[in-house]
Chain A
Amino acid sequence: MYPINDNIEKPLTQHIKNDGSWLTLKEYESTGGYQALKKALQMKPAEIIQVVLDSGLKGRGGAGFPTGKKWSTIDISENASSIKYLVANADEMEPGSFKDRFLLEGNPHQLIEGIIIGAYAIQASFSYIFLRWAYHLAGKALTQSIQEAYDAGYLGKNIGGSGFNLDMSLHISVGRYMCGEETALLNALEGKRSNPRAKPPYPSNSGLFGKPTIVNNVETLSNVPHIIMKGANWFMNLSKTGEGGTKLYGASGKVKSPGLWELPLGISLRELLEDYAGGMADGYRFKGVLPGGGSTDFLVEEHLDVAMDYASVAKAGSRLGTGTIIVLDDKTCPVGMVHNLERFFAQESCGWCTPCREGLPWTAKILYALETGAGKTEDLNILEFHTHYMAPGNTFCALAPGAMEPLQSALKYFKADFEMHIHQHKCPWNS
C-alpha cells in the first residue's frame, strides 16, 4: 500500500503498519479493536443482521451479493440446527487480485472480530478461515492471532460472559482456483475435490457437512466490526454512490505506480488510474482494463468516467469483481492477454461439467493458434460460439461464464486486433 494523504476515511486500512508486521492483539485493542464485539454481544442476532442489511454492505469477493441478505437466509430460530458454520473465504486466487492479502497480513484481528460478530449474528458455533497456501505470512499472522483471541477470551466458551460459544480453525488449502467458489470451498473443507455443488439447497440450508453455513469474503467480514461500531448510516455515507462503504482498489500492469488503495466505493476509473496508479508508465498508452480481476469484461477509453461501484460497472457491461484493475497497454497484445487468461481458466477448471471442461481448453487452443500465426477466419466464430455456449446458466458454477467475460469483450472491442493475427499469420506484437 502506498500512503497517499487524501484525507479519505479508511476504516479497513488506517491502522495497518508500514513495516510489514501485523497488528498484535494489544495493538489492535489500542485502536478500538474488539469494542464492536462487546457491543454486538449486547445486541440480538437479528438486530446485527438488520444493521448489516441497512449498511448496504455487499460481498467483496466479487459477486457483490448483499451480506445482510445472505445472513438473513439462515434460520436462527430455536428450531434451527444447533450446528452452524461461518467460513471466511481467504482463498484469494482471482488473477490480478491482491487485496485480501493486505488485510490478512496487516490486520488479522479485524477479520477475526468480524467473523466472531458474523458467527454470533447467525448463531454459528464453529468458524473456519479458508486460506490459500501461497499466503504464508497471512498463515503465520492468523495462527498467532487466533491463539491470542482464544487466550483473551474472544474465542471459546461463553465469550465475554454472553453465553455465546465459538471455535475457530485455520484451514490452509493446497491450490486450485475453484476453491474460491463457495460450494466448492465447502467440498475442499470436507477433504474432497473442490467440485461445485448444485444449488439449491443453498449452503445456508445445507452447507459444510450438511449443516447451515455462510461463506463470506475477508474484506466483507473485515468491514463488520466498523459497521457495528459506527452504524449503518456512517457506512452508507462512506461511499460516493450509495452502495455503502469503502473498497480496496488495486492496479497492476504498465502503470506508473501499481498499488492498492482503500477509497470510497464509487470513485471513477479515471481517478483510480490517473490519481492513484499515476497514469500509464512512460512510453505506454492505455488500451483497456479488466476492472475487477481476470474474470471481468474489458472496459475501454469511453468507460474511464464510470464509477467503480457494482451498479455502474455492471451498467457499463462489466463487473466490479474484486476491484483490482488489470491495465492493458498498447504494447501488450490483447489476444495474448486473453490467451493467458483462458489458459489459466482451462487449467483451473475442475472438469465437473462438460461445457467448461471441454470448452475452455478449446478456446485456449484457438487463441494459441492465433498467437502463433495459425489462426483461421472461422476461429473468430468458434470463439464467439463459446462465449454463448459457456454463458451463465449453461454451466454448473460461475467459473466458465467468468472466463468468457474477458474473451467476449475482447472480441467486441479488439476485433481488429484478432483479425490482424489471422491476416498477417502472426502476432503483430511479437515480430
Chain B
Amino acid sequence: MTEKVLTSGDISEIEKAYQHFPLRSAACIEGLKIIQKNHRWVSDDAVKELAELLEMSPAAIDSIATYYSLIFRKPVGRHVIMVCDSVSCWIMGYEGILNHLKNRLNIGYGETTQEDRFTLLSICCLGTCDHAPAIMINNDLHRDLTPDKLDAILETYK
C-alpha cells in the first residue's frame, strides 16, 4: 500500500465535521474543504480516501468535487488569483486587467507560473460591483484596479 494522502490531522477534522450531520455523506463538501485547506488541492488519492471515510463511492465524491468551482482538482500555486469576469467588471474593463495579468505572468486561465507562485482563474461576480474591476488573490479582495495598481499588488505575494 502506498503512502496515504490524508494525515491523521485531516482525518480527525473530517470526523469532527460529519458528527454534526445525520449522514456521513453530508460532510462531503466539508471534507473536500478540509483537504484543500491542508493540501492546497484535492488529488485522486485524496478523493478515494475521503470516499472510504464517508462511506461513499469515489465517483460520488468526485461528482461533487468537480461540480463546485472552488474545489481544485488540479494542483494550484501558492497564490490563486481569481479575476471577476461578470457583467459590472466587464463594463468597467476587466479584460484589460486580465490581459495584463496574462502577459505579466505569462500564463492563461487554469495555468500556474513556474515555481508554483501564481495560478490564474476566473470567478463570478465578487459582489463589489461599485468598485469594479475587482479580483481576489487567496482570501484578499482587490478593487478599483488599474494595471499599475496590479503590479504593486502582485509584488506583495511572494
Check A26 for interface membership: any CB of B closer than 8 A: no
Check A75 for interface membership: any CB of B closer than 8 A: no
Q: How far is the CA of A97 from the CA of B125 in the complex (A)?
A: 8
Q: How far is the CA of A193 from the CA of B139 in the complex (A)?
A: 24
| Cross-chain contact A96 with B125 (CB below 8 angstroms) | yes
What's the least CB distance linking A406 to chain B, in Å? Answer: 9
Check A9 for interface membership: any CB of B closer than 8 A: no
Contacts of A326 in B (CB 8 A): 87-88, 91, 129
| Cross-chain contact A174 with B69 (CB below 8 angstroms) | yes
Check A252 for interface membership: any CB of B closer than 8 A: yes
Contacts of A100 in B (CB 8 A): 127
- Which of A59-67, A129-137, A239-247, A390-398 is the interface stretch? A129-137
Check B131 for interface membership: any CB of A closer than 8 A: yes
- Chain B interface residue bracket vs A: 35 or more
Having A253-B92, A326-B91, A327-B91, one finds 5 other A-B pairs with CB under 8 Å, namely A95-B125, A96-B129, A174-B33, A341-B87, A350-B67
| Cross-chain contact B128 with A98 (CB below 8 angstroms) | yes
* A residues neighboring B (CB under 8 Å): 92-98, 100-101, 132-137, 169, 172-177, 188, 190-194, 209, 250-254, 258-260, 290, 294, 324, 326-329, 332, 336-337, 340-341, 344, 347-348, 350
CB within 8 Å: A-B pair count = 129
Contacts of B32 in A (CB 8 A): 174
What's the least CB distance linking B37 to chain A, in Å? Answer: 11
Contacts of A137 in B (CB 8 A): 141
**B125: which of A93, A194, A251, A254 is its contact (CB, 8 Å)?**
A93
Q: How far is the CA of A400 from the CA of B26 in the complex (A)?
A: 28
In the complex, which residue of chain A has the Cβ closest to the Cβ of B25? A191
In the complex, which residue of chain B has the Cβ closest to the Cβ of A172? B33
What's the least CB distance linking B31 to chain A, in Å? Answer: 8
| Cross-chain contact B69 with A176 (CB below 8 angstroms) | yes
Contacts of A327 in B (CB 8 A): 91
* B residues neighboring A (CB under 8 Å): 20-23, 25-30, 32-33, 63-64, 67-71, 85-88, 90-92, 123-132, 136, 139-141
| Cross-chain contact B129 with A258 (CB below 8 angstroms) | yes
Contacts of A347 in B (CB 8 A): 124
Q: How far is the CA of A96 from the CA of B124 in the complex (A)?
A: 10
Q: How far is the CA of A340 from the CA of B129 in the complex (A)?
A: 15
Contacts of B68 in A (CB 8 A): 173-176
Residue from the set B23, B30, B63, B127 with the largest chain A CB neighbour count within 10 Å = B127
Contacts of B141 in A (CB 8 A): 134, 136-137
13 residue pairs from A and B, CB less than 8 Å apart:
A92-B127, A96-B86, A136-B141, A174-B68, A175-B123, A252-B129, A252-B130, A294-B86, A324-B129, A326-B91, A340-B85, A344-B87, A347-B124
